[in-house]
A and B are shown apart, each in its own frame.
Chain A
Amino acid sequence: MSRKLLLEHAEVPGIETYAVYRKQGGYRAVEKALKALTPENVLDEVKISGLRGRGGAGFPTGMKWSFLAKPEGTPRYLLCNADESEPGTFKDRLLMERLPHLLIEGMILSAYALGCRTAYIYIRGEYKWIIKILERAIAEAYANGWLGERILGADFSFDLHVTPGAGAYICGEETALIESLEGKRGNPRLKPPFPAVSGLWGCPTLVNNVESLCAVVPIVNDGGEAFAAIGVGRSTGTKLISACGNINKPGVYEIELGLPVEEFIYSDEYCGGIKNGKRLKAVVPGGSSVPILPADLILKTAAGEDRLLSYESLADGGFVSGSMLGSGGFIVYDEDQCMVRNTWNFSRFYHHESCGQCSPCREGTGWLEKVLHRLEHGHGRMHDIDLLVDISKKIEGNTICPLGDAAAWPVASAVRHFRDEFEWHVLEPQLSQQRNFGLAMEAVAV
């Protein structure tokens, strides 16, 4: 049984209300920090904890915090990235639905450590009902003196606002998020300057994912070392994994980093195995942007070691035989799923979500989708498969923001690991419309 740091009380009835949250020990960390710790102490605990950004990139949070510029007389902003729109990722949703006060508490602590007077939660527009939950919780926190002027009588005042986006995935990219918050079109900015130097309204700004901010609460409560004691190597603490696809128990699971992938998929504590007794075909381990891996490579690395749910183990093998932990959106495919169709589906998403600012992404994502559409619908030719690889190579690394890479990787990895299936769509256009590759091949074998 994994220890639970964030979801410990998620099942307690009424935990979304202040009274219940407080009774479960809520806001203890704020009391501790404001009474006994300096902002530097809090920053140090986060550094010691080894916490890495849970939004996808996995950048060490403590280090990111220490980069925040602190010019005299300029306000600094803390932004919570709650735009969660990556296909397959739905962990922040659960945190905010069930534990809005945990996020508020985490943000108070972070703002205290960073010296921010004001913070915004930028939440995806489709999470309409969650906006209400957050607003109610924020009102409760104000009413009970956890937000506002001179919290707990300390020399620290803090205001927290919720701002909804309007349904664009790109606004999860931190600089697009900032543009959108400023009321502009959500186009990512050119970097440098980085938000830590010049972000919201030109002021130093820190953007963190919902889960990263929530994790600050147990770090302050139990100390950074206790957090760092969980996990393996540089993957410390617990991580929420949102599991979906052809599994018996889809849902959000809090795991200790380092849990073997095999155990996660097959144990009854987590996914409970593949649905309908089918076989595992492939997994996208970190949200639609990360490379897909076939069953053998997701369970074991190319070197034959057990694949673990950790930043390092999932990335083992680079892009040839590895993937990424990403945002923890764990999508499982059984033997009946068509990889060409899935790749086309992903590329439709990126085509639709590209902001259109830079040419490789604007034009490349559309091109990828069209070629994949052709292949999936039985009009592809052999050279289209290499064309896909070539287009994705030409997008990758040449764009303003990582959305271009995110569009390219799933396509490149699908062709790398499932080329025979793409070829089969060309060779058997009719059959490929009716059956999936695995079943058709078995019929041939019989």
Chain B
Amino acid sequence: MVKVKIDGFETEVPEGTSILNAARQIGGDLVPPAMCYYTKLKGSGGKCRTCMVRVAQSSEKDQRPMPKLVASCSTPVQDGMVVENITNPAVLEARKAVVEFLLINHPLDCPICDQAGECDLQNLAFEHGTSKTRYEEERRTYDKIDIGPNIQLHMDRCILCYRCVYTADQLTDKRVHGVLNRGDASEIGTYIQNSIENDFSGNVIDVCPVGALTDKTFRFKSRVWFLNPFDAYRNCPTCSGKVVVWKFGEAIYRVTGRKDQYGEVEEFICNTCRFEKKAPEDWTIEGPRAIDRHSVISQNHYEGFGDLKI
């Protein structure tokens, strides 16, 4: 175990833990936002640069600060490390810059985007962005692409976090889903619009932090905050069958994995559960899904109703 101090809070974590995960262990405001890192995906992280922090002291032995800001998701803690996140204005400044970079080519089409309300980029921009843009040039655009019958890729919105690439890569043994081209012309591609032939391909939708990969069985059906999320399960031969069903009245509008407070699913679910099981009798409801109080979705949220003092 090693000791690390983040924004003045100390915690102890196993050796090799990233700064980000140490911060998550402490919890609260000092947890850096992460747009590309995903615990379940090997090799993910380091790309978006939203999670950058300053290391004020490298370790007990080497008390020097690190010369540059580091990506907290891919920097392991060392014993006696001192980290500054929200207590350091330079970190917040750099994060603001990253948000600006992520937004200059983003279409900002939240009003017509299915992800709105549960979008990591929206939340990030809300907390760290500015209300004005300094970018005057044309934004890059792409054609929408169907990846198989159930998934649509809307590349305009993509922030190139590579999460879907790692998901596809780690679920299938063929390299069918990857990044084509270079620089700001990069695009996610399944080689010439192939579908990913795998029972778990639908998980690319859940890992996508923005509205670039969406569920075609749910597109434009409803805003997420009009739906009531419930934990539910079924006896599924392919996956654990533990999902969240999003209901409007009795009707199930969509099925997703169970995401934790950092937007990461507890378990990947299969395509049958996600795309085909939409009848109420398919599912046994466990109870309402806990959703972060700050999320817009929580306006239809039940948890804590009992504690409400009126």
Binding site for B on A (CB under 8 A): 168, 170, 185, 190, 351-360, 362-367, 370, 387, 394, 397-400
Contacts and interface: CB of A to CB of B under 8 A. Distances in A.
Contacts of B68: 397-398
B97 A356 contact: no
Contacts of A355: 182-183
A364 B49 CA distance: 13
Interface string B44-64: 011111101000000000000
B239 interface: no
Contacts of B50: 359
Contacts of A366: 105, 183-184
Q: Is the interface of A mostly helix, strand, loop or mixed?
A: helix
List 7 tightest A-B contacts by C-beta distance, closest first. Answer: A394-B97, A356-B186, A363-B101, A354-B183, A190-B46, A366-B184, A356-B183
Contact of A397 (B69, B159, B183): B69
Contacts of B94: 394, 398
Given A358-B48, A360-B49, A366-B105, 19 more contacts: A185-B179, A190-B46, A351-B184, A353-B182, A356-B182, A356-B184, A357-B162, A358-B46, A359-B49, A359-B50, A359-B102, A362-B160, A363-B105, A367-B135, A394-B94, A394-B97, A394-B101, A398-B97, A400-B47
Contact of B183 (A190, A352, A400): A352
Given A358-B48, A398-B98, A190 B71 contact: yes
Given A190-B74, A370-B137, A394-B94, A362 B49 contact: no
A363 to B, nearest CB: 4
26 contacts: A170-B182, A190-B45, A190-B46, A355-B182, A356-B160, A356-B181, A356-B182, A356-B183, A356-B184, A356-B186, A357-B160, A359-B47, A359-B50, A359-B101, A360-B97, A362-B160, A362-B184, A363-B184, A366-B183, A367-B104, A387-B134, A398-B49, A398-B94, A398-B98, A400-B46, A400-B47
Contacts of B47: 357-359, 400
Contacts of B45: 190
A397 B71 CA distance: 11
B52 A362 contact: no
Given A190-B46, A397-B68, A354 B97 contact: no
Given A190-B74, A398-B49, A354 B98 contact: no
A171 to B, nearest CB: 11
A363 B179 contact: no
Contacts of A398: 49, 52, 68-69, 94, 97-98
Given A387-B134, A398-B69, A359 B178 contact: no
Contacts of B104: 363, 367
Interface of B: 45-50, 52, 68-69, 71, 74, 94, 97-98, 100-102, 104-105, 134-135, 137, 159-160, 162, 178-179, 181-186
A395 to B, nearest CB: 8
A398 B97 CA distance: 10
Contacts of B48: 358-359
Contacts of A370: 137
Contacts of B101: 359-360, 362-364, 367, 394
Interface centre among B48, B52, B102, B104 (most CB of A within 10 A): B104
Nearest to A370: B137
A356 B181 CA distance: 9
Contacts of B97: 360, 394, 398
Interface centre among A351, A364, A370, A398 (most CB of B within 10 A): A398
A397 B97 CA distance: 12
Contact of B182 (A354, A363, A367, A397): A354
Nearest to A394: B97
Contacts of A352: 182-183
Contacts of A185: 178-179
A367 B68 CA distance: 23
Contacts of A357: 47, 160, 162
A428 B247 CA distance: 62
Interface centre among A363, A394, A400 (most CB of B within 10 A): A363
Interface centre among A168, A357, A365, A370 (most CB of B within 10 A): A357
Given A185-B178, A399-B49, A362 B98 contact: no
A363 B185 CA distance: 10
Interface centre among B69, B71, B97, B178 (most CB of A within 10 A): B97
Nearest to B68: A397
B182 A168 contact: yes
B275 to A, nearest CB: 30
Contacts of A363: 101-102, 104-105, 184
B48 to A, nearest CB: 5
Given A363-B101, A367-B104, A398-B94, A354 B184 contact: yes
Nearest to A350: B183
Contacts of A365: 183-184
B188 to A, nearest CB: 11
A359 B160 CA distance: 8
A358 B49 contact: yes
A44 to B, nearest CB: 28
A137 to B, nearest CB: 32
B40 to A, nearest CB: 18
Contacts of A397: 68-69
Contacts of B186: 356, 362
